[in-house]
Amino acid sequence: MRHPTLLFERGFYLLGYQIASFGLLRFEEVNNVRTEYSPLNAPSKNEYRIAKYFLKQNGTLDPCYIMSRARDGGNLLRTEHRWLLYNLTRALQQEIHIEKNGRVYGYRNICEPYCELNTAFLAFLKVYDPEQPLTYTYPAVELFGTRAFIGNNIYGVSLKNFTGNEYVKNEKTEMPTQEEQALLLALQRKSGTKKSPTIKLLETFNTAIMPFFLVANYEDKDLLVKWQNAAIDLFEHPPYSNLLKTGMTSDYLVTQEVRRMGAETAPLLATSVVFMIIFVVSTSFKAKREENRFIECFIGCLVPLFAMSTAIGLMAATGYKFQSIIVAALFLVLSVGVDDIFILMRAWHRTNKIFNKNNNFDINGIAKRMALCLEDAGPSITIRILLALFMCCYFFLCWFGIRKLQSNISIDKMALPNSYLHDFQMQFEMALRNMQPISVFVLHPGDMRDLQQLSRIRQLVWDFEHALNSYGQESTFFWLQQYEDFLRFYSNGNDNFDDHE
């Protein structure tokens, strides 16, 4: 009668096999850098959740950023470059059409409510006139009586200060034009002081970034993919590629690069397994043919593959999704698993002296030999595992060094060396150092009719405007000031307003 422990062991192995197999059947891969490559308690996850709640996002949003630079690295305010950049932005908005289920979609069909993100930038490119300083102030320009913020579109800027009284102090300085004097007078009235304010005029900029936010239902995510591929095909061909060097980044494109890293690395894993089998089998030759164990060596090389398949299956069965970056860790499993093969085969061969006289092994004889083999190899494997655990404990106990560790899970580290992300991401981040806009969401502003509450909101805005490295009031885009100007204008007895009422 067999010991019941064998039944429990076989039942346990069978259950694990079924769970792992079920997990492999529901295998799912995800490589979204925005949501998957940060800790569960990361502040960015909470910020992303608040933004989705505030914007009432009920579909999928893929923010695309298109960056253009002159091929010679020069000024984009040059007439030919400026109009080419204008035409490119208009073409992205109007000329790209994609089809799905017999229906044609354009940018306007997949951008609401973010279709006007580049309107101020387009107006700036169109009305720019070197002789009219009102058209190239920074970071906002005066357009049809409204201050339009362009600081989040133009980067790599070169500025000059203008106060209106510089020509008095320096005879070589040109006298201000009538438009410059009018602008200074308007800003002086707005500031409420008699001192001439200093304005910044844009001389050059070498980088343009155009945000295109794409929105679609979850079942129509392929529309966003098609639009982005069509956009890349548009700006990578003449006439836009003649003078401009343009690139794009988005969640989809970054995900594709991360997935490409896994897809191109996975074949190397199979190649490594083949070479590992060849090496292990070829080094197991013995002088006596009866001592060769080619099949055992081959099966031993497959054990790490079984371990990897089981681990991935158990992860999938418990709801964890596979990420392409894990492919790199599978090489470590191979390197660790192959050690046990040599230890076990060496222990098996050492039992030859005991059983070499008995050529008729029964089941009990094989079991005894295997027991002796494990008795010899077990301590070596156990010591190696304990050493690994000890090193892990030692690593975590070195709190002083760990406290100084810095993680760098940047996008360019997740892509292959030949990926476009390396150069593009470096230029993109360098450009954003000049002016990086942030969005502040106030979920519970209170009753804005209460003057005390309104004062608290204004104080909050003032604190952000005067925070460290903040550009100041000129870069603030907040609807309250424009709304108060609107009410103030029509509350002064405007007849036209009364007629419309």
Give the residue extent of every domain in the chain. 439-491
pLDDT at 358: 57
Q: Tell me which amino acid residue 218 is.
A: Y
DSSP string, 384-443: HHHHHHHHHHHHHH-HHHHHT------GGGGS-TT-THHHHHHHHHHHHTT--------S
pLDDT at 223: 92
Averaged pLDDT, 471-493: 76
How far is it, in rounded angstroms, from Cα 76 to Cα 187? Answer: 27
pLDDT at 234: 93
Taken in order 381, 387, 391, 396, the sign of the CA dihedral is positive
More confident residue, 288 or 174: 288
Averaged pLDDT, 111-134: 89
pLDDT at 210: 94
Over pLDDT 90: what percentage of the chain?
Answer: 20
Q: Which stretch, 182-191, 241-250, 317-326, 350-359, has highest mean pLDDT?
A: 241-250
Q: Which of 8-22, 87-101, 179-193, 309-323 has the lowest mean pLDDT?
A: 179-193
Averaged pLDDT, 212-227: 90
pLDDT at 88: 95
Eight-state DSSP code of residue 176:
P
pLDDT band at residue 497 using 50, 70 and 90 as cut-offs: very low
pLDDT band at residue 399 using 50, 70 and 90 as cut-offs: low
pLDDT at 246: 94
pLDDT at 2: 60
pLDDT at 168: 40
Separation of CA 426 from chain center: 13
Q: What is the mean pLDDT of the chain?
A: 80
Which of 107, 85, 109 lies closest to 96 in space, CA to CA?
107
The pLDDT tens digits of the residues spanning 33-53 come to: 777 777 778 888 888 888 888
Q: Is residue 191 over pLDDT 60?
A: no
How far is it, in rounded angstroms, from Cα 441 to Cα 253? Answer: 27
pLDDT at 171: 40
Exposed / middle / buried, residue 427 (Cβ in 10 Å: 0-12, 13-18, 19+): middle
pLDDT at 235: 92
Averaged pLDDT, 80-103: 94
pTM for the complete prediction? 0.72
Over pLDDT 70: what percentage of the chain?
Answer: 82
Tokens linked to 435 = 């002016």
Q: Is residue 481 over pLDDT 80?
A: no
Q: Which of 83-87, 185-189, 275-279, 303-307 has the lowest mean pLDDT?
A: 185-189
pLDDT band at residue 412 using 50, 70 and 90 as cut-offs: low
Q: Which of 92-101, 334-343, 359-368, 453-462 has the lowest mean pLDDT?
A: 359-368
Q: Is residue 188 over pLDDT 60?
A: no
Averaged pLDDT, 439-449: 86
pLDDT band at residue 374 using 50, 70 and 90 as cut-offs: confident
Q: Tell me which amino acid residue 389 is.
A: L
More confident residue, 307 or 402: 307
Averaged pLDDT, 336-359: 72
How far is it, in rounded angstroms, from Cα 444 to Cα 93? Answer: 35
Q: Is residue 7 over pLDDT 50?
A: yes
Residues in the chain: 501
Q: Could you write out the three-class secondary structure of 141-152? A: EEECCEEEECCC
pLDDT at 17: 77
Averaged pLDDT, 312-324: 86
Tokens linked to 103 = 């229906």
3-class secondary-structure state, position 100:
strand
More confident residue, 481 or 207: 207
pLDDT band at residue 247 using 50, 70 and 90 as cut-offs: very high
Q: Is residue 169 over pLDDT 50?
A: no
How far is it, in rounded angstroms, from Cα 209 to Cα 362? Answer: 77
The answer to whether the CB of 244 falls within 8 A of the CB of 85 is: yes
Question: Is the preceding omega at residue 133 within 30 degrees of 0, hence cis?
Answer: no
Look at phi and psi of residue 500 and say left if phi exceeds 0, alpha if psi is from -120 to 50, else beta: alpha
Residue with tokens 């910020």: 47
pLDDT at 241: 92
pLDDT at 106: 93
pLDDT at 74: 92
pLDDT band at residue 75 using 50, 70 and 90 as cut-offs: very high
pLDDT at 173: 43
The pLDDT tens digits of the residues spanning 258-281 come to: 888 888 888 888 888 899 888 888
How far is it, in rounded angstroms, from Cα 348 to Cα 342? Answer: 10
How far is it, in rounded angstroms, from Cα 387 to Cα 256? Answer: 39
Averaged pLDDT, 414-443: 77
More confident residue, 75 or 163: 75
- What backbone phi and psi angles, to 5 degrees, belong to 493? 75, 40
pLDDT at 81: 95
Q: Which of 192-206, 432-446, 458-472 has the lowest mean pLDDT?
A: 192-206
pLDDT band at residue 172 using 50, 70 and 90 as cut-offs: very low
3-class secondary-structure state, position 358:
coil
